């Protein structure tokens, strides 16, 4: 389907998808370009106050009566902007500044450059906005999920493998402090989906696991860490995206579970998140017949799901945000602007990443003017958005002090925390030949074979550097999706006579790429073939644990969850006996490995030097 484009479409082109009552205060006008925002920056954020009992038109820091209809509509729209460096005269920066000046509610920051670049860009956009901008980002595994230099944590399923609420809380804490330091106030995190479908191409390791009560415990700890350190939180993707086998970026998933099953599984973490005070809930683009009937629209556009279930039955009073409105599950069925209007009518408050922000604003104004949406309905959402901004302290201070970033982002203490979690999250799923840890006799002629697509450019590099000095005759090879027969023949030759083959598998959920979560058949067949001919194979998943189902013949399998350098270094230490292996599976791996299983290994060698 062809969609209308505009100059604003560049802001939303294929990014990686993911209330306080008080005295009214007049919103500040635009701040002069030379304003000393850095010097005036506020201290570290204080804990957020709990949500007010309700958001009503009178309970905001900006009187709704002071806003025009178009300004109200604009407050509900949140386009995407790149986190990459933009010079002041970049066309994309001009477009974003114009949106900010025209009253847009805020922006979603995509994958970007340094913390300084992002902070300076956000300060510049805040300067031209009459009402402070609410800035959000998908910080599911810390600031490094989107911004280079932030602390890189191994992700939710790794936290499920340690099963420590303190770990989840600490990740939330660091994420909040680092995000607020560069001008982000709303984290689209945590993912509270229960990943109970091994074929799920888009949730997978983004989930804490398949036990709804474990997910609930860890999610609420993460939320506390965020909120107690000044960051608004978002529980996603309501009413649960875990039991799906379709990427909603491309088409509409259908959850066929009964209402009873939804109540006992999918909705358990959302109830816990609401009780913990989550500030927002993100509505998923998926059909749930048990909640909305067989022919109902996606949950994100359904009054039965958003108003009846989420608002009335679960009692949620905070912000309802849509998943990205440029995703195929809604755009291909309803059109870019109509989907946004339907979401607002259904009960959503923030409309994320529309294809054309101005067209959506126009469509909302038209819908209110013709009576399709009442102005009272519009006002209730605007009030929630403004109250969220007030609770984030934006009417007191909208700027950040760039000079303070080095003291708050990527500190040694936070990096040490990430390294510690990365070590403790490893799960030794199977080890039938007793290869772990690698004894000296096995360290001769080790062959490290790594696989990853173009987004895994450095897969295996940190691991190889960490084990090199302990090996004799180490060989390495990298496979790509385009690798062909000649590469596979070379891999077989290199594996011949090896004391062990260590296979590092980089397969992780990637928006718009459902195939990214699995190994190519040719790569899986290569590894299976090596194991079948008696080669000792240690397979390490640096992403989805479910790839074990493609290579069941390997003697040893380690679930490591993530491809961060800290995780690769942790795997190296574990294989060399320099650190224990203590994690347990947060998901079951059919047919033989149930949830909570995992082999324990003690450290048997001196500690390794610090990671590079």
Q: For 501-552, write each residue's pLDDT tens digit.
A: 999 999 877 665 767 788 999 999 999 999 999 999 999 999 999 999 999 9
Reply yes or no on whether the pLDDT at 491 is more than 70: yes
Structure confidence at residue 413 (pLDDT): 98
- Residue 74 and residue 132 in one domain: yes
- Give 201's pLDDT tier (boundaries 50, 70, 90): confident
Q: How far apart, in whole angstroms, are the C-alpha atoms of residue 200 and residue 202?
A: 6
Co-location of 437 and 398 in the same domain? no
Q: Which of 241, 249, 356, 401 is catalytic?
A: 249
Domain containing residue 569 = 426-575
Backbone angles phi, psi at 266, to 5 degrees: -60, -40
| 434/465 same-domain check | yes
Average pLDDT of span 330-352 = 93
In a domain? residue 514: yes
CATH number at residue 364: 3.20.20.300
Higher-pLDDT residue of 61 and 112 is 112
Task: Identify whether residues 389 and 442 lie together within a single domain.
Answer: no
User: Are 92 and 211 contained in the same domain?
Assistant: yes
User: Number of structural domains, the chain?
Assistant: 2
State which of 339, 374, 408 marks the end of a domain.
Answer: 408
Among residues 382, 408, 434, the one where a domain terminates is: 408
The DSSP bridge partners found for residue 140 are 142
Mean pLDDT of the chain: 89
DSSP secondary structure, 413-457, as one string: HHHHHHHHHHHHT-EEEEETT--SSPPGGGGBT-EEEEE--TT-T
Which pair of tokens denotes residue 29?
């006008």
Question: Are residues 483 and 363 both part of a single domain?
Answer: no
Residue with tokens 């909120």: 227
Rounded Cα–Cα distance for residues 65 and 438 (Å) = 70
Q: Specify whether 332 is catalytic.
A: no
Same domain, 404 and 439: no
CA distance 159 to 142: 12
For the entire predicted model, the pTM comes to 0.90
- Specify whether 439 is located in the same domain as 551: yes
157-197 confidence digits (pLDDT tens):
999 999 999 999 999 999 999 999 999 999 999 999 999 99
Structure tokens at 395: 């009417």
**What DSSP character marks residue 132?**
P
Residue 307 token pair: 């108003």
144 contacts 150 by C-beta, under 8 angstroms: yes
Are residue 135 and residue 47 in the same domain, yes or no? yes
Same domain, 382 and 526: no
Per the domain annotation, does 559 fall within a domain? yes
Taken as a whole, the chain contains a residue count of 612
Element (H, E) at 585: none
Q: Per residue, what are the HEC states of 322-346?
A: ECCCCCHHHHHHHCHHHHHHHHHHH
For residue 16, what are its two tokens? 């990686």
Q: Are residues 369 and 486 in the same domain?
A: no
- Residue 26 forms part of a structural domain: no
- Round to whole Å and give the CA distance between 550 and 184: 40
Give per-residue pLDDT as tens, 435-471.
999 999 899 899 999 999 877 778 899 999 999 999 9
User: Average of pLDDT values for 572-599?
Assistant: 96
**237/284 same-domain check:** yes
Q: Is residue 436 part of a domain?
A: yes
End-to-end CA distance of the chain: 48
pLDDT (tens digit per residue) in 277-309: 999 999 999 999 999 998 888 999 999 999 999
Instruction: State phi, psi for 78 to the nearest 5 degrees.
Output: -130, 95
Q: What are phi and psi of 270, to 5 degrees?
A: -70, -40
CB atoms within 10 A of CB 148: 16
The H or E element spanning position 282 is strand 280-283
Query: Can you give the pLDDT at residue 612?
Result: 57
Per-residue pLDDT tens over the stretch 52-81:
444 344 445 788 989 999 999 999 999 999
SS3 307: helix
* 334-to-4, 303, 322, 340, 509 alpha-carbon distances in Å: 13, 16, 15, 9, 26
Catalytic residue among 193, 323, 356, 563: 323
Residue 128 is assigned to a structural domain of this protein? yes
Task: Tell me, yes or no, whether 263 lies in a domain.
Answer: yes
Question: Is the pLDDT higher at 131 or at 332?
Answer: 131
604, part of any domain: no
Residue with tokens 């998901």: 587
**For residues 433 and 80, what is the distance between their CA atoms, to the nearest angstrom?**
50
Nearest one of 448, 405, 421 to 560, comparing CA atoms: 421
- What pLDDT does residue 608 have? 57
Give 605's pLDDT tier (boundaries 50, 70, 90).
confident
Residue 38 CB burial class (10 angstroms; 0-12, 13-18, ≥19): middle
pLDDT for the residue numbered 455: 76
Please name which of 449, 565, 455 lies closest in space to residue 516, comparing C-alpha atoms. Answer: 455
At 60 the pLDDT is 53
Active site residue 249: yes
Among positive and negative, which fits the CA dihedral 59, 64, 69, 74? negative
CATH number, domain of 544, equals: 3.40.50.1700
């Amino acid at each position: 389907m062809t969609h209308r484009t505009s100059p604003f479409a560049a802001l939303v082109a294929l990014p990686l998808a993911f209330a306080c009552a008080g005295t009214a205060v007049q919103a500040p006008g635009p701040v002069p370009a030379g304003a000393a925002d850095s010097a005036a920056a506020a201290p570290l954020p204080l804990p957020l106050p709990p949500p007010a009992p309700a958001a009503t038109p009178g309970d905001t820091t900006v009187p709704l009566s002071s806003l025009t209809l178009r300004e109200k509509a604009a407050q509900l729209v949140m386009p995407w902007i790149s986190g990459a460096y933009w010079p002041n005269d970049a066309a994309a920066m001009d477009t974003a500044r114009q949106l900010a000046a025209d009253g847009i509610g805020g922006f979603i920051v995509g994958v970007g450059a340094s913390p300084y670049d992002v902070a300076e860009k956000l300060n510049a956009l805040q300067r031209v906005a009459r009402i402070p901008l609410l800035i959000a980002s998908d910080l599911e595994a810390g600031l490094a999920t989107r911004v280079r230099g932030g602390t890189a944590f191994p992700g939710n399923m790794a936290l499920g493998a340690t099963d420590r609420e303190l770990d989840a809380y600490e990740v939330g804490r660091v994420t909040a402090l680092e995000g607020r330091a560069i001008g982000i106030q709303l984290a689209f995190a945590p993912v509270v989906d229960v990943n109970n479908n091994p074929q799920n191409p888009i949730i997978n390791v983004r989930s804490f696991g398949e036990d709804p009560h474990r997910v609930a415990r860890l999610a609420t700890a993460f939320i506390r860490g965020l909120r107690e350190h000044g960051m608004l939180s978002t529980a996603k993707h309501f009413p649960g995206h875990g039991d799906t086998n379709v990427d909603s970026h491309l088409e509409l998933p259908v959850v066929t579970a009964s209402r009873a099953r939804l109540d006992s599984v999918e909705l358990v973490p959302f109830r816990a998140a609401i009780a913990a005070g989550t500030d927002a809930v993100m509505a998923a683009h998926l059909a749930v017949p048990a909640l909305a009937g067989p022919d109902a629209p996606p949950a994100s556009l359904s009054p039965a799901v958003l108003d009846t279930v989420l608002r009335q039955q679960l009692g949620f009073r905070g912000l309802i945000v849509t998943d990205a409105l440029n995703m195929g599950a809604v755009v291909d069925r309803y059109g870019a602007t109509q989907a946004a209007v339907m979401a607002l009518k259904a009960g959503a408050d923030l409309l994320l990443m529309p294809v054309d922000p101005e067209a959506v604003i126009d469509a909302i104004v038209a819908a209110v003017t013709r009576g399709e949406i009442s102005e009272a309905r519009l006002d209730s959402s605007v009030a929630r958005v403004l109250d969220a901004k007030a609770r984030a302290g934006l009417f007191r201070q909208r700027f950040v002090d760039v000079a303070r970033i080095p003291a708050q982002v990527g500190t040694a203490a936070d990096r040490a925390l990430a390294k510690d979690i990365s070590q403790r999250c490893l799960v030794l799923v199977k080890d039938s030949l007793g290869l772990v840890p690698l004894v000296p006799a096995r360290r001769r002629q080790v062959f490290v074979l790594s696989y990853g697509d173009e987004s895994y450019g450095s897969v295996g590099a940190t691991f190889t550097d960490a084990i090199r000095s302990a090996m004799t005759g180490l060989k390495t090879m990298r496979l790509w999706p385009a690798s062909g027969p000649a590469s596979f023949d070379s891999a077989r030759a290199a594996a011949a006579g090896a004391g062990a083959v260590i296979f590092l598998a980089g397969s992780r959920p990637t928006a718009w790429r459902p195939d990214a979560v699995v190994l190519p058949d040719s790569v899986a067949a290569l590894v299976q073939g090596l194991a079948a001919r008696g080669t000792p194979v240690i397979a390490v998943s640096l992403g989805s644990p479910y790839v074990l189902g493609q290579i069941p013949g390997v003697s040893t399998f380690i679930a490591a969850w993530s491809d961060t350098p800290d995780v690769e270094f942790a795997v190296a230490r574990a294989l060399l006996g320099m650190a224990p292996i203590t994690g347990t599976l947060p998901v079951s791996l059919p047919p033989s490995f149930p949830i909570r299983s995992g082999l324990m290994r003690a450290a048997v060698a001196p500690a390794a030097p610090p990671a590079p």
